[in-house]
Structure 1
Amino acid sequence: MGEGLLPGYEGMMKKWVKKMRGLSIRNQIFWSMAVVSILTTAVLGVVIFILSKKTMENNYQNLHLNNLQVSSNIIDIQLKPMIEQSRGLLTDESFVDVMENETSTNAYFSSYNNLKLERILGEIVSYESAIQSALVVNSNGNMRYYTKNSRTTSKVNHYYRTDNILEEDWVETAGEARGKEVFFGYNVLYDDEANDCFSMVKMLINPYSHKTMGYLVLNTRKTMFEKAFGTKNEGYVTNRYMILDVQKTKWDGEAPVPLVYYNGAQEAKDDILEDYTEDRENRYLYSAYQNITTGWEIINVIEKSELSHDSSYIGWITLLAGISLIAFSFYVSAAISRRIIHPLDALEKTIEAVGEGNYKIEAEFDDSEIGKIGNKFKGMVTNNLELRERLLNTEIKEREAELLLLQSQINPHFLYNTLDSLYFMAVIHNADDMAEMVMALSDTFKLSLNQGNKLIYVKDEIAKIKAYMKIQNMRYHGRFEFVLDVAEDIMDLKILSFILQPVVENSMYHGLEAKRGNGRISVKGYRDGDSLHFILSDNGVGIKDMAELEKGYGVRNIRERIRLFYGDGYTVNFTSEVNVGTTATFILPIVKEEKDAPVSGN
């Protein structure tokens, strides 16, 4: 059935959306806001009704939870004399003597001991008016029953004649408690048709020998609980109190709940117990508090319909308020839709004017979303006009750049010719050292200019470093050792020009020239996957503050050029230790498409 409804619902939604698209924007805004307002009001009304109903129930439960705690304390006070009387027997030497030294072989105590027990039990029963009867039995099965109502004596006679009272289930339960008082919601000695008594059973343990002497049973009228609950209704018609014995030893969760006490209309009792047992809570609301002394649950119950009366009133108020809100939302939706459409109309007219070639926009737009679109459109038109002018200026600058490039290609030839003349003059005058230095300087300039290309072969960058180191060693009479360890398989790959040689020059200037004695510079290069790794290190004086190195123009320029060319897929790292040296590490992506022509190192 659900699968049949879903396609129908989807079809209805598609028709509604299609119909909405056919409306004007103004009507779309109006009906969208109206529908949202109706749905919001409906959902809000339902939520308010449910929350108000739930809040009333929670408030009622919280209030009566405190009342139940007070009732539990009153019950504890009522049970305290019984508990103290039973515990007082353990310190009564006469009672202990009777319980442990009885020699009778039948279910009766001896006449002498019987009189003693009659006096003791009589005092207990007389002490508390609610106590109906008392029974004591020792470990041998000798027992004494005392009651205010002599007609109940015959109901326990079978224990004297045939049945062994120590084999009853309540004896086992009391034994498991090991001397702690155990409360049963019914009379454990005999079936009580009126069900007007509950039993307290206690295993009697000698406080000195710690041996079991027997058991004590006190049967008490349930009418004593009436004082614990005050008035019956407390301002409510269906308000009721009850006490349930829900201990696992007495109730398995499926059998009828053992009812200890019920205070309220009797005609609803069975329905309440059935509802509570099956955990339905459809008709009634429960508040429960467990009494620690007895283990019983003290429960307040009330019909939910009585509590929901006020929430129904709130529901009607919410409905009337919702209808008023929906009517007001229609008015607001119409006003807002008109307000939104106004700048749209202005924007439409502006676009039409620009389309006709009128670029002078006089319309003014506000700061709303549509107004921002209008202002951006005005800015776009203005930017297009400015862009047209800039394009003209760019074309002029491109022509100028071509002339400058031609000039830059001419000047290096003049420089190379001059260096060649110096070289040959040095050879003619047998100044071999000078000739060699001039040749190294010429190679350095050629490789640095790189015919104007951004990229350079690794082998040419290495050749440039070699030429530079050759010049420095000639200046400083061979003070510097140059160690080269670059893999052959990367020599024909290209990298960004002018990034390795400046680092070597920086190491020479800041690290080795300031050092006494000889120095060493090493250059290592290899390939790892799609990356080239270069490690340049020296054993110079080192750098104390690396921040100063990063502030330098040379390092900052290298980083910026690498970032602009390679993007984010690179690593540049500098480390230094004073009097040990400095190391620079470059990890650069391999350039896969190379447009620059190779540079010769000769």
Structure 2
Amino acid sequence: MKSRFLNGWKWWRRHNIRDQIFMSMLFLTILAIGVLGTVSYHMEKTTIEENYRQSYETMLKNSSKILDLKLKPIIDKGRSILTNSQLCEVLENGSKDGEHEFSLEDQKVLERILTSITLQEEAVSSVAVMDFYGHHFFLSNINKGGLSFYNYYKEHCFQDESWYHKTIENAGKEVFWGEGVLGGEEDTEKVFCFTKILNNPSTGLPMGCMVLNLSRRMLGESIVEGDEEYHTSAYMIMDEDHDMTVI
């Protein structure tokens, strides 16, 4: 190492002062260009990343607002049916008669009430309502899933399922799930849903439970395509007072 330094020093001393000054200036110029280029690169990279991040955040905020606008009328309709006195009568005036389905008369009442949700909201694929006497009702927008639903709940009680326990803890508020939760349901990954305890608005006491399945297409349609490079395989629905749901 020492010999290399001495050889370099001898080589430097062989040049006259003018050449030494010229080479020094050339070296400093190259060094300055290198430093300036490195700093400029990192500054430009930081600026691009910041612009991308801000653009991405703006896209997510806009998408969140769009999804809110799409979910709100569905949630509002799910809440508004509680003001229907006929629904309260069907859910509260039953008895444990050993049947797993509501009477034909009650089914007609439920179908008329729930059709206001399934037909008016394209994103709703199906809705199920259960009372606490062992009766179940299922209404599908696509005429699919009813048979497997009824067959499953002939053998199982929804009150034993984990989603019900989580729902009852939330005392009538909507609980979102990343996939379908109903037993016997096919293609659960094609939907997400929310569950809700149906409380009597007059007494505040629970009358039954509702599960509302939503098509995942709603999520894709809510994404604002600000850039074709925005790709995602997961969505999150967050409530300030509840846990995050990954879909």
Q: Which residue of 2 aligns with 1:38?
A: 30
Letter matched to residue 86 of structure 1:
G
Task: Answer yes or no: is 1:48 the counterpart of 2:40.
Answer: yes
- Matching of residues 78-117 of structure 1 within 5 Å: 78-106=70-98, 107-117=100-110
Letter matched to residue 19 of structure 1:
W
- Matching of residues 109-258 of structure 1 within 5 Å: 109-189=102-182, 190-193=184-187, 195-230=189-224, 236=228, 238-245=229-236
Report the Cα offset of residue 12 of structure 1. Answer: 7.7
Letter matched to residue 135 of structure 2:
N
- Matching of residues 350-369 of structure 1 within 5 Å: none
Task: Answer yes or no: is 1:19 the counterpart of 2:13.
Answer: no
SS in 2 for 1:209: coil
Q: Would the aligned equivalents of 1:136 and 1:217 in 2 still touch at CA under 8 Å?
A: yes
Report the Cα offset of residue 157 of structure 1. Answer: 2.4
Report the Cα offset of residue 32 of structure 1. Answer: 4.4
Q: Which residue of 2 aligns with 1:332?
A: none
> Percent identical across equivalent pairs?
29
SS in 2 for 1:151: coil
Letter matched to residue 211 of structure 2:
V
Q: Distance in 1 between matches of 2:2 and 2:91?
A: 87
Q: Deviations over 1:136-162 (max 9, x none)?
A: 112344221111333311221233321
Q: Would the aligned equivalents of 1:137 and 1:214 in 2 still touch at CA under 8 Å?
A: yes
Q: Which residue of 1 aligns with 2:53?
A: 61
- Matching of residues 545-564 of structure 1 within 5 Å: none
Q: Deviations over 1:270-304 (max 9, x none)?
A: xxxxxxxxxxxxxxxxxxxx686994579xxxxxx
Letter matched to residue 57 of structure 1:
E
Q: Would the aligned equivalents of 1:243 and 1:296 in 2 still touch at CA under 8 Å?
A: no
Report the Cα offset of residue 194 of structure 1. Answer: 7.8
Q: 1:15 to 1:207 in 2, by over 3 A?
A: farther
Q: Deviations over 1:321-380 (max 9, x none)?
A: xxxxxxxxxxxxxxxxxxxxxxxxxxxxxxxxxxxxxxxxxxxxxxxxxxxxxxxxxxxx
Report the Cα offset of residue 115 of structure 1. Answer: 2.7
Report the Cα offset of residue 29 of structure 1. Answer: 5.2
SS in 2 for 1:150: coil
Q: Deviations over 1:426-468 (max 9, x none)?
A: xxxxxxxxxxxxxxxxxxxxxxxxxxxxxxxxxxxxxxxxxxx
Letter matched to residue 193 of structure 2:
S
Letter matched to residue 185 of structure 1:
G
Q: Distance in 2 between matches of 1:141 and 1:105?
A: 8
SS in 2 for 1:99: helix
Q: Distance in 1 between matches of 2:207 and 2:62?
A: 36
Task: Answer yes or no: is 1:74 the counterpart of 2:82.
Answer: no
Q: 1:129 to 1:235 in 2, by over 3 A?
A: closer
Q: 1:136 to 1:118 in 2, by over 3 A?
A: same
Q: 1:53 to 1:110 in 2, by over 3 A?
A: same
Letter matched to residue 46 of structure 1:
T
Q: Distance in 2 between matches of 1:25 and 1:12?
A: 24
Alignment: residue pair count: 242
TM-score (normalised: structure 1): 0.36
Q: Distance in 1 between matches of 2:23 and 2:7?
A: 11
Letter matched to residue 64 of structure 2:
S
Question: RCO higher in 1 or 2 (8 Å CA, sep ≥ 6)?
Answer: 2
Report the Cα offset of residue 94 of structure 1. Answer: 1.8
TM-score (normalised: structure 2): 0.80
Report the Cα offset of residue 109 of structure 1. Answer: 2.5
Q: 1:83 to 1:40 in 2, by over 3 A?
A: same
Q: Distance in 2 between matches of 1:192 and 1:40?
A: 66
Q: Would the aligned equivalents of 2:123 and 2:218 in 1 still touch at CA under 8 Å?
A: yes
Q: Distance in 2 between matches of 1:153 and 1:15?
A: 87
Q: Would the aligned equivalents of 2:62 and 2:224 in 1 still touch at CA under 8 Å?
A: no
Report the Cα offset of residue 67 of structure 1. Answer: 2.1
Q: Distance in 1 between matches of 2:156 and 2:185?
A: 15
Report the Cα offset of residue 103 of structure 1. Answer: 0.6
Report the Cα offset of residue 203 of structure 1. Answer: 1.9
Q: Distance in 2 between matches of 1:69 and 1:214?
A: 35
RMSD in angstroms over aligned alpha carbons? 3.4
